[in-house]
């Protein structure tokens, strides 16, 4: 995947359970690829993603993804981004310990949704963990509870999506987000099992089990063809039916990060929407060619 641009202003939540709009905004990041509304120069007009510390919040990361992680690259030369991410992690740990995690997650999703709607967006979206991943059971439980709260709002439906490697022995946090009966994430959400050639066995084992069988797979690969081949292999070894597979048009250099649609500018994800369909059961497997 390609690197987002984001605001990286310092943040520290001063009062647990009570947040100003500025404090919430500082926990959100702008991403030219995921934004639902942008300026003609490609700059996002609103923030619709979260950014947590790279690697430090990724218990399921592989050596391959750490070597090619855009977030690691950004945090290595933009120290203000790294410091802001670390402060957000500290805030989350404190809020979770105080029992305020679900309230914070819901407040962030509502703040992003409302800002998008105010700017004329009719299908607001939210990207969980543009950097980072699920690092604790309490964090996942908080976002699952928050998802139900936000879905119950009398407001425009928020479409949420993300990619996770927090699955498998010793790192199995993602399953807590899923319905134990259907294997699906909360209503309005799509979540991917993220994978690469170094962790095919872990992905196959996850798809064979009861928890993750319904999820699509996002495959990092050296090329689109290799990615499609690996996805076919994973599905075959897991005993799954073949799933439609697409290549990210941005990472394949077939689409710019920001596009113009009917006179308005938006991020490629908002225009493509393959990874954030109306129903998660229709989400395709996806290939992210490594640059």
154 confidence band (pLDDT: 50, 70, 90)? confident
For the ranges 28-37, 74-83, 128-137, which has the lowest average pLDDT? 74-83
For the ranges 58-67, 125-134, 179-188, 204-213, which has the lowest average pLDDT? 58-67
9 confidence band (pLDDT: 50, 70, 90)? very low
Q: Residue 65 above 90 pLDDT?
A: no
- Beta-bridged to residue 18, according to DSSP, are 15
Sequence-separated (6 or more) residues with CB below 8 Å from residue 3: 70, 71, 73, 74
Q: Residue 79 above 60 pLDDT?
A: yes
- Residue 177 contacts residue 144 (beta carbons within 8 Å): yes
**Cβ atoms < 10 Å from Cβ of 241:** 7
* Interatomic CA distance for residues 28 and 48, integer angstroms: 7
Q: Residue 35 above 90 pLDDT?
A: yes
Cα–Cα separations (whole angstroms), residue 53 to 132, 214, 220 = 6, 28, 20
Sequence-separated (6 or more) residues with CB below 8 Å from residue 78: 8
pLDDT of 13: 52
Burial of 139 (0-12, 13-18, 19+ CB in 10 A): buried
pLDDT of 16: 47
Q: Residue 6 above 80 pLDDT?
A: no
pLDDT of 73: 83
Domain boundaries, the chain: 21-289
The number of CA neighbours under 13 Å toward the Cβ of 54 is: 20
Give per-residue pLDDT as tens, 80-138. 888 888 999 999 999 999 999 999 999 999 999 999 999 999 999 999 999 999 999 99
pLDDT of 74: 76
Show the tokens assigned to 31. 């991403």
pLDDT of 5: 47
8 confidence band (pLDDT: 50, 70, 90)? very low
72 confidence band (pLDDT: 50, 70, 90)? confident
Helix, strand, coil shares, percent, the chain, to 5: 40, 15, 45
For the ranges 1-5, 159-163, 225-229, which has the lowest average pLDDT? 1-5
pLDDT of 66: 85
17 confidence band (pLDDT: 50, 70, 90)? low
Q: Residue 77 above 90 pLDDT?
A: no
Sequence-separated (6 or more) residues with CB below 8 Å from residue 183: 210, 211, 212, 213, 214, 215
Residue scoring higher pLDDT (46 or 156): 46
- Residue 184 contacts residue 213 (beta carbons within 8 Å): no
């Amino acid at each position: 995947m390609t690197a987002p641009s984001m605001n990286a202003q310092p943040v520290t939540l001063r009062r647990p359970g009570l947040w100003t709009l500025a404090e919430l905004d500082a926990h959100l990041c702008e991403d030219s690829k995921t934004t639902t509304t942008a300026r003609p120069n490609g700059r996002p007009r609103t923030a619709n993603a979260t950014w947590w510390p790279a690697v430090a919040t990724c218990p399921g990361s592989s050596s391959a993804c750490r070597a090619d992680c855009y977030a690691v690259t950004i945090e290595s030369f933009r120290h203000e981004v790294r410091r802001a991410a670390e402060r957000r992690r500290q805030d989350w740990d404190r809020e979770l310990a105080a029992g305020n995690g679900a309230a914070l997650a819901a407040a962030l999703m509502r703040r992003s949704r409302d800002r998008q709607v105010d700017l004329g967006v009719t299908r607001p979206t939210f990207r969980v963990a543009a950097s980072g991943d699920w690092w604790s059971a309490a964090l996942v439980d908080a976002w699952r509870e928050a998802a139900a709260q936000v879905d119950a709002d009398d407001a425009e439906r928020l479409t949420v999506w993300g990619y996770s490697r927090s699955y498998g022995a010793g790192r199995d946090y993602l399953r807590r987000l899923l319905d134990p009966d259907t294997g699906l994430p909360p209503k309005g959400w799509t979540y991917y099992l993220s994978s690469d050639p170094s962790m095919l066995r872990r992905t196959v084992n996850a798809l064979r089990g009861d928890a993750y069988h319904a999820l699509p797979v996002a495959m990092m690969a050296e090329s689109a063809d290799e990615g499609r081949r690996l996805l076919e292999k994973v599905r075959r070894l897991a005993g799954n039916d073949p799933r439609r597979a697409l290549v990210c048009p941005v990472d394949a250099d077939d689409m710019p990060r920001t596009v113009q649609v009917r006179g308005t500018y938006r991020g490629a994800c908002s225009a493509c929407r393959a990874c954030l369909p109306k129903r998660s059961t229709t989400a395709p497997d996806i290939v992210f060619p490594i640059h």
